[in-house]
Amino acid sequence: MKKFKENFSERVFLLLALSALSVLALITVFIFTKGIPLIAKVGVVNFIFGMKWSPSQGSYGIFPMIVGTISVTLGAAIIGIPIAICCSIFLAEFAPATLRNIFRPAIQLLAGIPSVVYGFWGVLFIVPMIRNYLGGPGLSILAGSIILAIMILPTIISITEVTILALPRHYKDGALALGLTHWQTIRHLLLPAAKSGIVAAIILGLGRAVGETMAVIMVVGNAVALPETILDPVRTMTTNIGIEMGYASGEHQQALFATGIVLFIIIMIMNATAQYITRKK
């Protein structure tokens, strides 16, 4: 009877795991089936490097949106990664237990806030501040980068802190016994030892930034043009899909699915890189 229960439990868990993989496979097949015909018709080079997006005229170039996606994500990385790593170090090495018990739930709460709330806050606070003090329309790469930087903080902070805390205790004890200060131990020993986990955390956080839609729609301006400065409006691939999918049909709809294929491949590459780095460690 015990053997039967074990075999039954094993098969149930296997079925649940396969169901999750099946959903992913169905989504992948659906997206590629819908988008590949348009890419085959337009051409991969023309689709990815085309400068003009005008579905009514049969032009499907997404290069400005790729640049917009990269610009906003890179800006979020520049703003968010240093803050996240410093916060992780503080929680893991410096914060007293009482303060740590307050900070951790507060940071985790950031992950549960709906993205539309971030976007609404950005429209009412970040955008006017940029417009008044830095110039431009306010709806810009900078606004999107600030919002996304805040949104990726919980992922990077949580994984980085866990990685640092998981290091063997004798690493730190040995360094302190040799005469290193606490900060020297963190900088020259703990951070290098936790490098693979930190890199994986950063990649996973940026994966969320690349795929974010609602908050970005509200603050980047959604202009299909190459930006010249961080104060210019842009349109990302996710916002393009979110804005136009409601009324798209025919080739236009296929072009949006093709945009999803490019986005899907980018995110899969980032997640695979994070998994590879983690396994390598």
Residue 186 CA to residue 184 CA, distance in Å, equals 5
pLDDT in tens, 47-70: 999 999 989 888 899 999 999 999
CB hemisphere CA count around 36 (13 angstroms) = 6
How does residue 1 score in pLDDT terms, banded at 50, 70 and 90? low
How does residue 268 score in pLDDT terms, banded at 50, 70 and 90? confident
Q: Given the DSSP bridges, would you call strands 59-60 and 53-54 parallel, antiparallel or unpaired?
A: antiparallel
Q: What are phi and psi of 59, to 5 degrees?
A: -105, 125
Residue 65 CA to residue 59 CA, distance in Å, equals 14
For the chain, domains (ranges, CATH) are 53-280 (1.10.3720.10)
pLDDT in tens, 8-18: 777 877 787 78
Tokens of 207: 């994966």
pLDDT of residue 23: 86
Q: What are phi and psi of 246, to 5 degrees?
A: -65, -25
Q: What is the model's pTM?
A: 0.88
